[in-house]
Structure 1
């Protein structure tokens, strides 16, 4: 379904609050028509959370 690249860290807007730190995951997906969609970036607590959000938005 997706190919996950190396995740990178980001902070939410405002000062750093370590309790609110999320990871952004970058996905590449292929549509049902065979087109590749690159550079989809989704915030998540972990990889499974990001994949769940991807599924809610695009499937």
Structure 2
């Protein structure tokens, strides 16, 4: 579907931004990871795990 990983990442980021993180979005419940996870994540540690992965990616990108 995507010609590169980068294109796929940008597509998903935009989807999350417009639907979960922006007031008025279809799934907006406050715009935080915790609010987003409360909609569908069954793991109560989901927010912390996502933050950990993001921190790891940030460190590797530096």
* Shared fold, TM over 0.5: no
Q: Taking structure 2 as the reference length, what is the TM-score of the superposition?
A: 0.25
Determine which structure has greater relative contact order: mean sequence separation of CA pairs < 8 Å that are 6+ residues apart, divided by chain length: 1
Q: Taking structure 1 as the reference length, what is the TM-score of the superposition?
A: 0.26
Which one has a larger percent strand, Structure 1 or Structure 2? 1
Which one has a larger percent helix, Structure 1 or Structure 2? 2
